[in-house]
């Protein structure tokens, strides 16, 4: 009976974890340890054990990077982002979207201030924002990168990152 209860508990917990599928990408930072050189922290985490910590030494973190043609054969017209952020009082960060042409020149570089997206400091806040792409930048050969950037010496944390790509025809 105990084995059945444990199995049911594991099954229920597994059902609550968002899965990566199609045009939705999700990273809770739990399984990334050892795969990429980002600064993981156990001090604060929205879910699980780890979050991506940004400080004066680790100014860049978890980056999503793909060619548009690897995301979809159809036109990507928008990316919706959601993540959880924990900003300490003196932290200043940005959420960057950078699109590069094959020759590595910028087709687009834009950033949003995390302080505009995260109204409260010292607690986890859910951030939801989106970026729309026009026909001059969402070409199949261009690459898209989305990443947080610490522009201060203050610490902040990111967890449970989700990107959803919206297609247009």
Tell me the whole-structure pTM to 2 decimals. 0.80
Q: Which two tokens stand for residue 144?
A: 């898209």
Beta carbons within 10 angstroms of residue 94's beta carbon: 17
Which positions ≥6 away from 6 have C-beta within 8 Å? none
Beta carbons within 10 angstroms of residue 151's beta carbon: 14
**Helices and strands (H, E) in the chain, number of each type:** 3, 10
Enumerate the β-bridge partners of residue 40: 52
State residue 21's pLDDT score: 43
Per-residue pLDDT of the chain (169 residues; tens, 9 = 90+): 443 333 333 333 334 444 344 588 888 878 776 667 788 887 888 988 888 899 999 999 889 999 999 999 999 999 999 999 999 999 999 999 999 999 999 999 999 999 999 999 999 999 999 999 998 898 999 999 999 999 998 999 999 999 999 998 6
Which of these, 38, 85, 42, lies nearest to 57 by C-alpha position? 38
Class of domain 20-168: mainly beta
Which helix (H) or strand (E) covers residue 120, if one does? none
State residue 9's pLDDT score: 33
C-alpha to C-alpha distance for 58 and 47, rounded to whole angstroms: 21
State residue 58's pLDDT score: 93
C-alpha to C-alpha distance for 86 and 108, rounded to whole angstroms: 27
């Amino acid at each position: 009976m105990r084995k059945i209860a444990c199995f049911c508990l594991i099954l229920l917990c597994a059902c609550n974890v968002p899965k990566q599928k199609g045009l939705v990408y999700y990273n809770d930072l739990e399984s990334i340890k050892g795969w990429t050189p980002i600064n993981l922290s156990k001090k604060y985490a929205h879910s699980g054990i780890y979050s991506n910590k940004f400080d004066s030494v680790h100014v860049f973190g978890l980056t999503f990077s793909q060619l548009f043609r690897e995301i979809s054969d159809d036109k990507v017209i928008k990316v919706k982002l959601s993540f959880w952020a924990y900003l300490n009082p003196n932290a200043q960060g940005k959420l960057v979207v950078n699109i590069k042409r094959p020759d590595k020149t910028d087709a687009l570089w834009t950033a949003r201030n995390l302080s505009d997206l995260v109204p409260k400091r010292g607690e986890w806040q859910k951030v939801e924002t989106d970026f729309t792409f026009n026909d001059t930048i969402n070409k199949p050969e261009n690459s898209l990168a989305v990443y947080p950037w610490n522009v201060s010496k203050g610490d902040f944390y990111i967890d449970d990152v989700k990107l959803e790509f919206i297609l247009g025809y």
